[in-house]
Structure formats: structure tokens, C-alpha cells
Amino acid sequence: MNFKKTILLSCKWILICALIGFFSGSASAFLLVALEWAAELRTQNIWLLWFLPFGGLLIGLLYHYYGNDVVKGNNLLLDEYKTPKKTIPFKMAPFVLLGTIITHLFGGSAGREGTAVQMGGAISDQFTKIFKLDATDRKTLIILGISAGFASVFGTPLAGAIFAIEVLYCCKISLKSSIFSFVVAFFAYYTVEIWGVHHTVYSIPVIPELNLENLFWIIPSSILFGLAAMLFSRSTHFWGSLFKKTISYPPLRPFVGGIIFALVIYYFSATQFMGLGIPSIVEAFTKPNEYYDFLLKIVFTGFTLGAGFKGGEVTPLFFVGATLGSALSVFIPLPIALLAGMGFVAVFSGATHTPIACTVMGMELFGVESAIFIGISCFIAYLASGTIGIYHSQNVKGVKFQLYQKLRATRLKYF
């Protein structure tokens, strides 16, 4: 009887994974196509930049009057996992999708991971009512939504499954959630493949041998990646706090921010920092970047998201890491593509406190040959990035938290 019940229960959860994977993967496929369309249209019609303030106003009004309960975005998913209260409103998915398309169409500097994860979380949590699940099972659904969204939007199912678990490391995660996180990730990944939507291909053609000399150069570069991640996180929080303090009426924040952003981009001809910045990321693997490119992306992205525009942080983090690694290739005797690839995932690792997922992502994107370099870089960047990440509601625990607690205690003791 118990065996039969286990089989039936497993079949039910596989069905749930299939449904979440299909709907989340389809949503991500649509998002990827829509963002590609928006980027192409914006590139051919640069004057669309001047509509960014009005697009921001529309986003602000939409969330202020109709989406105040979903405005927290990814942080809402993390909060609901830690303390389940009520089902995440389905409107989170279309709201963030529309907001992200508007942001990218008119040139805001943002990503897409946050959008995919929020759509996945909103879609998955609707199955709470359909299958009459309890609060514990709701936690599993949220993990499945995060996994499906991440895996499908980046084409990295293993990293997506691990990311959903690792980003919630501070909380208790069941074995069932862990197993089905992988199942739903592959359902979502193959759904995007079935729709015929393709992801950007990156490669590291030359992998040097891991010797003491190369290891010596990995350490300082990875520390810089971690510091860049810290700067990115603090920049995003700083701009968000500044807009809230200076502009009391929320819809005006992206309107004013859009005006400032458009003027700066136009005056300094900084169009490469608009949108996702995929062309710049790809170029970073073959051509050294200017030393300030990564800093400008940090400023523009933090300003865009802090003002209230929608999107994600991860692709901009890829931009920051790849361009920083590319710039370091002028001084560090490692292949430019390797440094760009290390930075690509290491900055992400530091900003989200997910070194394992980022190491696996690097292996999925660049090949297992780069695993040792990628892994070392991700863990050093993770340790060097501080305890503040891009998600307000993420609690940092474990070795990193203990290390910084000891450093803080030492500083207070002697200074």
C-alpha cells in the first residue's frame, strides 16, 4: 500500500513538473523572442530611447495601482518560501513580462533572469489550488518555479536546478524538492528547445594547464570579480533607496529616471550599455575591453532597476564579469576568453551567493575542460563579495557568514 501510494505521489509530482516546465518554458521562450525583437527594433530606431521616461511611467502606474502586491519581484518568492502566507498572484507573470519588454524596447539597462524566475514562480504557485497542496508543498512549487525559469531562460538545466536550491540555502529544503528541481529544469529547458528558440553560444577555445603560476593569477582576478559583485549589489540597493527617499510618488521614479538615463546615454553615446548587452559580452571573449566598461554597466543597471524599471540582474552581471575579465587580460597572462568566462560566472556567483550553481553553469556554457578554473574563481569571488547580494530577502549563512562575522568582530575589537 505504501509502495503504491509512493508511486502515485511520484507520478503526481512528475505531472506537476511537466506542466510547470511546459508553461514556464513557453513563457521564457516568448520572453527571449520578445527581447530579441525589442533589441533589434531599438537598434534600428535609436530615437525610441526618448520614450523611455513614458515607458517607465507606464510601468510605475501599472505596479502602483494594480501590482503593489507583486512589486517585490524575486524577493516575494524568497519571502513566500521562508514564510508561506498566500498564493503568489498570477498577474506577477504578465506584469513583469510587459514591464521587461518596455524597459528593453526603450533602452533601459536590465536583464531577463528576474523576469523568467518571477514568471516561473507565479505560474508554479497556481498549482497550489489546482492540486490542493499544503504550505509545505507550496515551498516545493516555488523551488520548481525558480528552477524552471532559470533553466529555460539561460539554457542551463543543471545550473537552474541547483540555483533554485542554493539561493534558498538558508532554509530547510526537502529531498523531494531537490529531486524535482532537476526534473522540472529539464522539462522547461526542452520546452524552449521544442519552440525552436536558441540561446547565445559562448566558448573558451584555449584552456591552459593548472600550475602554480596560473593559480597565482586566478586568485587576484577572482577577488576583483567578487569586489565587482559587491559593488553591483550595493549600487542597485543605493539607487533604489535614493529614488524612494527623493520621489515619494512611485510612478514618477521610473519617469524621472528614464529622463536622466536617456540624456546620459545620448550625450555620451553609450548605447552599448542599453538592454542586455549581449553583443558586448560576446565581443569580450575575443577583444580586450576598456577598463571602465564594467563600471559603467554597474552604474547604468543599478540606476535602471533602482528607478523602478523591470528586468533582471544576471545578464548585466554577465556583462560586468566578462568585460572586467576581458580588460584584465591586458595585465594577466591568461587567455582572454578564459578570463572573460571566469568573470562571466564569478561575478554572478558573488552577487547571488551561489558558487556551486555558477560553477555548474560555467561547465554547461563553456565545457567541462574549464571546470577547475571556473570553480576556483566562483568560490573566491563568492567569499570576496561580502554578505550583501542582489536579493534583499536572501539570508547568507554557512562558512561565508561565519567568516564575515569573525572579521567584523576582529575589527570592532581592535578599531
Q: What pLDDT, in 10s, does the model give residues 150-204?
A: 999 999 999 999 999 999 876 667 888 899 999 999 999 999 999 999 999 999 9
Amino acid 411: pLDDT: 52
Distance of CA 74 to the CA centre of its chain: 10
Give the residue from 379, 382, 375 showing the smallest Cα distance to 359.
375
Q: How far apart are CA 85 and CA 76, in angstroms?
A: 11
The stretches in the chain having pLDDT less than 70 are 1, 170-172, 395-415
- Domains (range + CATH), the chain: 2-194 (1.10.3080.10), 212-402 (1.10.3080.10)
Give the DSSP per-residue string, 361-372. HHHHHH-GGGHH
Could you give the dihedral angle defined by the CA atoms of residues 302, 348, 115 and 184, in that order, rounded to the nearest 10 degrees? Answer: -170
How high is the pLDDT of residue 405?
Answer: 57
DSSP 246-291: H--STTHHHHHHHHHHHHHHHHTT-GGGSSS-HHHHHHHTTSPPPT
Q: What digits encode the pLDDT tens for the residues 245-263?
A: 999 999 999 999 999 999 9
> What cell numbers appear for 244 in the block?
524612494
Distance CA 117, CA 294 (A): 25
Q: Which positions ≥6 away from 80 have C-beta within 8 Å?
A: 88, 125, 138, 142
Q: pLDDT per residue over 362-384, tens digit each?
A: 999 999 999 999 999 999 999 99
- For residue 334, what is the DSSP state? S
Q: In the prediction, which pLDDT does 375 show?
A: 97
Helical axes 314-328 vs 336-352, angle rounded to 10°: 140
pLDDT of residue 135: 85
pTM tops 0.85, yes or no: yes
Residue/partner pairs of 5-12 with CB below 8 Å, 24 or more apart: 12/131
